[in-house]
Amino acid sequence: MIGALVFIWLMFHFATDGRFLTPRNLFNLSVQTASVAVMATGMVFVIVTRHIDLSVGSLLGLLGMIMGTLQLNILPDIVGLGHWSIWIITVFIGISAGVAIGAFQGWIIGYLTVPAFIVTLGGFLVYRGAAWWVTSGQTVAPLDPTYKLLGGGAEGTLGETLSWVLGVIAALAAVAVMLISRRTKERHGIQVKPIWAEGTLMGLVVALTVGFAWLMNSYKVPDRAAARIAKARGWDVPEDFTMYHGIAIPVVILLAVAIVMTIVSRRTRFGRYVYATGGNPEAAELSGINTRLLTVKIFALMGGLTAIASVIASARLGAVGNDLGTLDELRVIAAAVIGGTALSGGAGTIYGAVIGALIMQSLQSGMAMVGVDAPLQSVVVGMVLVLAVYIDIVYRRRTGA
């Protein structure tokens, strides 16, 4: 997958005369990928357990409408216009609503034994209609200024210093995890890579991590916008003041979600139950796993992650329209599948889903920069999805997975 991603980037970089692999485009690409990638991490658990969720795009739109209405029409009358707590209350209620709706869907699937395809297809229709009903089809704007920082932009970033700090910490953490994993394998007699191969891989990870921070710190904020931001923050700046974006807040949110979801999938009983159920549902139930309750938990988690993605998507746009989240369910499923999650269940990784989302967004962004029409973009993405599934099937046949 990483090789395919690099190939796509280089192909579009040459096709756009060097405009694709630039700090500006990579910054925008990272922000655009965040919301879909967050949902894709949850979709891994859904697909691993042999279910599907077709409602995430519509649910994202509904939660966006609820959160937009809260901060525009309800909370200002309760806590006061522009109060510092508006964005916190909004996010809390949005995530709580997402978890509740997801758990309700999981209850229908797990305890009433209605197929997930039917339940979430119904949700796809219900939530899109409910989103329109919440605001009678009107766009909700403007959103709370602090809330909008969660969507990125010139102000919604860590800045230069914190971006370097995060890059270095992430690189050191990655190296530490790889060393711990190697020692654990050696302790249990599991074959490990040669030292030179492990060292090369560590060097590559460090280079990519620190290099990403460097690229984000190389994206200059336009002078007028920088002056406006500095003035709003009360800074005394010289005439030749320059400011750089740094890592966007949505990327930080995605990184945190990916780390937590990876830990959950690999280091917790819940994660082990998910993969055990996906590998053999009958055996999992006979071994004492409450697969019905597990289904409720998985869809509740998917609902919570959809709410986080809705925060990112609506904050990035600064408004909530009726088209928010349209076709996101297909992008999320495609990202998980392209990332190696088996539709037959039992196999899938969090980092694979994130890379899959990045591949999907890179294809769409690159084709848009080249000038490919939107209908043809859909054709290409559909072909890539089918090809990815075919390659996965062939690989599993040959390896016996």
For residue range 341-392, what is the model confidence (pLDDT) as tens digits?
Answer: 888 777 888 988 999 999 989 988 888 888 888 788 888 888 877 887 787 7
Q: What are 255-262's contacts with CB under 8 Å, separation 24+?
A: 255/170, 257/38, 257/41, 257/305, 257/308, 258/37, 258/41, 258/350, 258/351, 258/354, 261/41, 261/42, 261/44, 261/350, 262/350, 262/351
Decide if 325 contacts 307 (C-beta within 8 A). Answer: no
Backbone angles phi, psi at 140, to 5 degrees: -95, 115
Is residue 261 pLDDT above 60, yes or no? yes
Q: What is the mean pLDDT of the chain?
A: 88
**3-state SS assignment for residue 272:** helix
pLDDT in tens, 296-330: 999 999 999 999 999 999 999 988 888 888 888 98
- Of 261, 208, 200, nearest to 46 by C-alpha is 261
What does the alpha-carbon distance between residue 295 and residue 303 come to, in Å, rounded to a whole number?
12
Q: What pLDDT does 325 receive?
A: 84
The pLDDT of residue 213 = 92
Digit-coded pLDDT (tens) for 62-105: 999 999 999 988 999 888 888 889 999 999 999 999 999 999 99
Sequence length of the chain is: 401
Q: 4-34: per-residue pLDDT in tens? A: 788 888 888 888 888 888 899 999 999 999 9
Looking at the whole model, is its pTM more than 0.85?
A: yes
Joined together, the tokens standing for residue 178 give 């790889």
How far is Cα 374 from Cα 117, in angstroms, rounded to an integer?
A: 28
